[in-house]
Amino acid sequence: MDIAVEDVAARWVRAWTTGRTTDLFKLLAAAPVIETNLDPDGDFIELLTDYAAALESIAVFSQTVLDRRVAIVYDCTLAGETFRLAEFLTVNAAGLVVEVRRVYDLNAVERLMPQLLLEQ
């Protein structure tokens, strides 16, 4: 069964932005490739939920799907400042995320969420 990448992306966004860790684990393949410029050796799921919990709002700014890959750019807001987060997912035919690449605005994280850097 070939699951639509757009559906997986929508479920992924909903899960991490609302802190639903169980849903995130259900969407991840058994051994996903994960790359991030924020705490690359830390617990990825914990980082996602901590990041989301620290923000006032998160909205999808743009989303592009090409084959089994999706690029999502988010507008993140905290303390009246909006900054971006870019995320790149690769989804297999079963609807599981096999690769995640996240690029955080480290200047914004350092300024507005230094506790996320201290946990590293």
**All domains of the chain, ordered by start, with CATH?**
5-118 (3.10.450.50)
Residue 41 pLDDT: 79
Average pLDDT, the chain: 92
- DSSP codes, 8-47: HHHHHHHHHHTT-HHHHHHHEEEEEEEEESS-TTS-HHHH
Q: Which residue has the higher pLDDT, 40 or 7?
A: 7
Local structure of residue 119 (DSSP, 8 states): T
Distance CA 44, CA 117 (A): 14
Does 120 score more than 70 pLDDT?
Answer: no
